[in-house]
Structure 1
Amino acid sequence: MDRIIEKKTWTPKKITLISGSVILAVFLFYTLVFADHKASLNVNNERITIGKTITGNFQEFIAIDGNVEPLKTIYLDMVEGGRVEKLYTDDGRKINAGDTILKISNSTLQIDFLNRETQLFDLMNERQNSEITMKQDQIKALNALAEIEYNLKQTENKYKRSKNLYAEKVIPLAEYEQTEDEFMYLKRRKELAERSLKQDAELMTKRLRQLDQSINRMQANINIARSTLSNLYITAPISGQLSTLKAEVGESKTAGENIGQIDDLNGFKVKANIDEHYISKVYPGLQAAFDFNGQTHSVSVAKVFPEVQNGQFQVDLEFPEGKTPEGIRRGQTLQIRLHLSGGDKAVLIPRGGFYQSTGGAWAFVVDQSGKFAEKRTIKLGRQNPQYYEVLAGLKPGEKVIVSSYDGYGDIEKLNLE
């Protein structure tokens, strides 16, 4: 007898199918709602650099290279041109003030000096001859005046006698008038002779004064020419080191040409070039430091040159008085840290190549597990050669990938392997 078989509602196949569908739906729901959809990239730990955010004393400074120079340098220029005749020393040697460095020969200047001396001698001879001639003429004039005075005296006596005789009717009128005319004539001659003698004396004094003035001017010219000849000897104006001497025996030099320099060894300064970006932050008195012979030494900005050339400006830095490091030499290059601000507490992150890609606006922050790093918005402020100042987005102790982000594109998560 046949038996009716009831059909089962939940068959194993159907249960399996429904279970699979539920699992798939749950997976899809989780994937859409809870799963991480960020673009990620696997990176090797050995190819990146991780820096730790710390709290420290931030001091804004820039690294510059400075060249050691003497505190004072005297340049040697040719006052007169000529041919180098003799060298008394060479560059690199220490010399004292007044020491002769080299001798220049200039035949034109020497001939000119001799000509001026000859002119002076001629002028002095002319003055002497003029004085002798004038005095001789004066003596002649005095003799003539003495003779006139003698004749006048004789004639005056004769005139007085004639006047009395004429009054007594002893001599005629004609004889009296002749005596009177002779007396008046000699009297007039005496007046003219005295006036001429006085004028000649004044002219002689004036002429001799003019000659004396000409002689004085000529002597002044000769003194100038003599000092010009002394310029043919180049001497040291100060004591120091003759660091440069650009002259050889037989070489011709022109007036105004630089032939060397003397460095004052009593002190040094440091000259440095700084990017024009910092020109508003650099001023006299700003402190700086450098390492030399295992020790840290300080310098300060003494002078700022405002002229900008090739995007840079120059500063002079000086050592504290009496504290020039032993062993410092002219021409040495020092790596100097110029402090632009005083130190204050701040959150710091090590410098790295990531800044070129992000501009300090974001960074990959490493998770506490150390297995991945995620992109995070941050804000950086001041910087120095070692650190960036963190203004927002990071806490002390967090780790950040500070190496270059080149090749990461739009990646938001890095899986660290």
Structure 2
Amino acid sequence: MDVQIEKKRFSKGKIATVGGAILLLIFIIYVIMNTAGGAKLTVNKERLGISTISSVVFQENIPVSGTVLPSTTIYLDAVEGGRVEEKFVEDGAMMKKGDPILRLSNTDLELSLVNQETAVYNLLTQMQISQNAARQNTINRLNQYTDVENNLIEAKRLYELNKKLYEKGAVGRQDYESSLNNYNYQKQRMELTKKILKQDSIATKQEIGQAKSSYQRTQNALKLMRKKVEDLVVRAPIDGQLTSLDAEIGQSKTKGQRLGQLDVITVFKVRIEVDEFYISRIYTGQKGTFTLNNKTYSLVIRKVFTQVNGGRFQVDMQFENDVPKGIRRGQNLQIRLALSAEKQALVVDKGGFFQKTGGNWIFKVSEDGSSAYKVDIQLGSQNTQYYEIISGLNAGDKVITSSYDSYNDIEQLILK
């Protein structure tokens, strides 16, 4: 009889199919589990910049570049135009007040001086002639006054004598009245002579005063002309160093043309340029610091130039205490300009992460140091070393501060 053969429940084909399905399912679960937390990237820990969040005394400041300049600069301009005839010193020379620098020649100016001197001498001669004439006129008036006075005395004597004789009948009426008339006439002459002498004295004084005034004005004009000729020799107005001298023998200089400058090198200032973004936050009295030869020096703002050129404005600072030894005009200094007072704050080191995140988030390292993940943060002020942390991190947290350029959509970093 036929034996019924039992059919196998699982064939080799089915077993292979089920096994492949299980492996596929396991792979899908693995992928889902590994991608559930967002994109990940494994990086070498040694290639990262990792900083620790700390609480320090923080002050907002900005880096600026400053140029050392003399505190006082006197510009040398040609007071009078002329041809450069002689140079007494060269550019860079140390000068004392009054030392000659160069000499110009100006024929027209020198000729004007000669003409002015001649005019003064002519006026002086005319004035002396006028004074002599006035003096002689006064003498003549005084002689005339003496004659009139003498005639009056004689007329009075004769009148008084004839009056007595007339009263006694010793002389006639005709002689008496003749002497009386002559006496009255001489009195009138005396009054007139006095008036003439007085008026002549007043006129003489006025004439002398006008002559002196005219002479004084001419003398002043002569002094001014001499001063202009003297200005052809350019001299140092103060003690200092001669710089930017622009004059060569034979060169012609016009009136008002810049010849050079004199710098007071005993006291310096530092001129800095600041971005116009900070113009409302810069004022006199603010301080800055810089380091030179491993020593820190302090500066204070003394003057703010509010005119903006090319998006920047200038500020003058002075050394607050010590001045670096050997500092020179034109030397460049890297200055940290303070914008706020000191305060205690959480800070993070500056780094390349800011360019990618804008300070809105950062990679925070896990406690075991095996990974780093994104956290939202809020930054406040900054200085040359730190960003101030407003929220999102605590003291002791470790964060990655190096560049994030390679981490585009990465949510988590695996550190090895």
- RMSD of the TM alignment (CA)? 3.5
SS at match of 1:72: strand
Q: Is the 8 A contact 2:283 2:304 kept in 1?
A: no
1:96-120 alpha-carbon deviations (Å, 9 max, x no partner): 2221111222333333333333333
Structure 2 equivalent of residue 110 of structure 1: 110
1:56-71 equivalences under 5 Å are: 57=56, 58-71=58-71
Partner Cα separation in structure 1 for residue 20 and residue 156 of structure 2: 177
Encode CA deviations 1:5-53: one digit per residue, 9 max, x unaligned: 4555566665665566566556656766x45156647677599744333
Q: For residue 189 of structure 1, what is the aligned residue in structure 2?
A: 189
Q: Please tell me the residue identity of whatever aligns with 1:379.
A: Q
Range 307-316 or range 334-343, more displaced: 334-343
3-state DSSP of counterpart to 1:245? coil
- 1:301 corresponds in structure 2 to 300
Letter in 2 for 1:145: Y
Contact 1:71 1:269 in 2 (8 A): yes
Are residues 179 and 280 of structure 1, via their aligned partners in 2, closer, same or farther at CA, if it must alter by over 3 Å? closer
Asked if the contact 2:362–2:399 (Cα under 8 Å) also holds between the matched residues in 1, the reply is no
C-alpha distance in 1 between matches for 2:150 and 2:235: 72
Q: CA deviation at 1:183?
A: 3.3
Aligned mates of 1:379, 1:205 — CA distance in 2: 93
Partner amino acid, structure 1, of 2:206: K
Q: Is the 8 A contact 2:53 2:393 kept in 1?
A: no
Match of 2:362 in 1: 363
- Comparing 295-304 and 108-117, the one that deviates more: 108-117
In the aligned structure 2, how far is the partner of 1:157 from the partner of 1:399?
A: 134
Q: Is the 8 A contact 1:63 1:385 kept in 2?
A: yes
**5+ residue gaps in structure 2?**
none
What's the offset of the Cα at 1:173?
Answer: 3.7
Q: Structure 1 pair 19/160, CA: closer, same or farther in 2 (3 Å)? A: closer
* Aligned twin of 2:339: 340
CA offsets per residue over residues 210-240 of structure 1, 9 Å max, x none? 2222223332333333333332222212222
Alpha carbons of structure 1 residues 315 and 147: separation in structure 2 relative to 1, 3 Å: closer
CA distance in 2, matches of 1:337, 1:327: 21
Q: d(CA) in 2 for partners of 1:163 and 1:389?
A: 127
2:89 aligned counterpart, secondary structure? coil
Identify the residue that residue 90 of structure 2 maps to in structure 1: 90
| Alignment CA distance shift 1:277-1:164 (3 Å) | closer
1:174: how far off?
Answer: 3.8
Bigger Cα displacement from structure 2, 268-277 vs 252-261 = 252-261
Aligned equivalents of 2:19, 2:299: Cα separation in 1: 81
Alignment of 1:170-209 (within 5 A): 172-209=172-209
- Alignment identity in percent? 39
Task: Spell out, residue by residue over 1:332-372, the C-alpha distance to the aligned partner (whole angstroms, 9 max, x if none).
Answer: 112222343426352414411x3223211123456678776
Q: Given that residues 67 and 271 in structure 1 are in contact (C-alpha distance below 8 angstroms), is that contact kept between their aligned partners in structure 2?
A: yes
2:377 aligns with 378
Count, aligned residues: 412
The Cα of 1:325 is off from its aligned counterpart by: 1.7
Structure 2 Cα separation of the partners of residues 16 and 404 of structure 1: 47
Report the AA paired with residue 104 of structure 1: L
The 1:176–1:248 alpha-carbon spacing in structure 2 relative to 1, beyond 3 Å, is: same
C-alpha separation in 1, matches of 2:28 and 2:164: 176
Deviations 1:224-280 (A, max 9, x none): 333333322222122221122122222222333322112222122221111122334
Alpha-carbon displacement from aligned partner over 1:295-340 (angstroms, at most 9, x marks no partner): 122122232414133222222233343x222222111112222343
Task: State the distance in 1 between where 2:347 and 2:202 align.
Answer: 99
**Are the counterparts in 2 of residues 92 and 243 from structure 1 also a CA contact under 8 Å?**
yes
State the Cα distance separating 1:88 from its structure 2 match.
0.8
Whole-angstrom distance in 1 between the partners of 2:93 and 2:186? 87
Match in the other structure for 2:325: 326
Conserved? CA contact 1:297–1:325, under 8 Å: no
Q: Which moved more, 1:382-391 or 1:3-12?
A: 3-12
State how far apart, in whole Å, the 1-side matches of 2:60 and 2:163 are: 124
Larger mean CA deviation between 192-201 and 88-97 belongs to 192-201
Contact 1:299 1:317 in 2 (8 A): no
Q: Which moved more, 1:124-133 or 1:108-117?
A: 108-117
- Cα deviation, 1:179-226, whole Å, max 9, x if unaligned, reads 433333333223322322222222222222222222233323333333
Deviates more, 1:386-395 or 1:194-203: 386-395
Q: Which amino acid aligns with 1:105?
A: S
The CA deviation at 1:397 is 4.8
How far apart are residue 69 of structure 1 and its match?
1.3
Counterparts in 2 of 1:85 and 1:163: CA distance versus 1, 3 Å:
same
Indicate if the aligned counterparts of 2:166 and 2:173 stay in contact, CA closer than 8 A: yes
Give the TM-score of the pair, scaled to structure 1. Answer: 0.83
Structure 2 letter corresponding to 1:238: I
Contact map agreement 1:349 1:390 (CA 8 A) in 2: no
Q: Secondary structure at the match of 1:315?
A: strand
C-alpha change, 1:201 and 1:22, in structure 2 (3 Å) is closer
Distance 2:170 2:366 in 1: 163
Structure 1 residues without counterparts, runs of 5 or longer: none
Letter in 2 for 1:318: Q
- Residue identity matched to 2:192: L
Give the CA deviation at 1:82: 2.5
Inter-partner Cα distance in structure 2 for 1:338 and 1:157:
107
Describe the shift of the 1:108–1:43 C-alpha distance in structure 2 as closer, same or farther (beyond 3 A): farther
Q: CA deviation at 1:412?
A: 3.6
Which residue in 2 is equivalent to 1:273? 273
The Cα of 1:92 is off from its aligned counterpart by: 0.8
Contact (CA 8 Å) 2:50, 2:400: kept in 1 or not?
A: yes
